[in-house]
Amino acid sequence: MVGEKSVKSKIEQITQRTWQVPFFDYFDLTSKFSPPPLVGFDYQIDGFLDFNVEFDTAFSAVDSLADKRNNAIEDVTSLAGAGMSKVQK
């Protein structure tokens, strides 16, 4: 890897002109153009966002589904247990 400063200096060295082009070298619009001073008021607007997420509804829905599924599995295992106790007798 090459450091950023080394790359920058190498690019400047490669692209450096060895002769002057007077029209472009002294072309300066900043001396002929001065923008009017800004007049007005400075406004500062601060905005804050309070982001809260409530998971109570989603948690209740998932909990309800899990309870139903657990009850169904419990019914199946209790039936299987009852069947096994009859077989063992």
Rounded average pLDDT over 57-69:
93
**Where does residue 31 fall: left (phi above 0), alpha (psi -120 to 50 degrees), or beta otherwise?**
alpha
Residue labelled with tokens 């209790």: 78
Confidence at residue 89, expressed as pLDDT on a 0 to 100 scale: 65
- Three-state SS string over 19-82 comes to CCCHHHHCCCCCCCCCCCCCCCCCCCCCCCCCCCCCCHHHHHHHHHHHHHHHHHHHHHHHHHHH
- Angle, alpha carbons 8-11-14 (nearest 5°): 150
Q: What pTM does this model have?
A: 0.37
Q: What pLDDT was estimated at residue 1?
A: 53
Mean pLDDT of 22-37: 70
- Rounded to an integer, what distance in angstroms lies between the CA atom of residue 9 and that of residue 15? 10
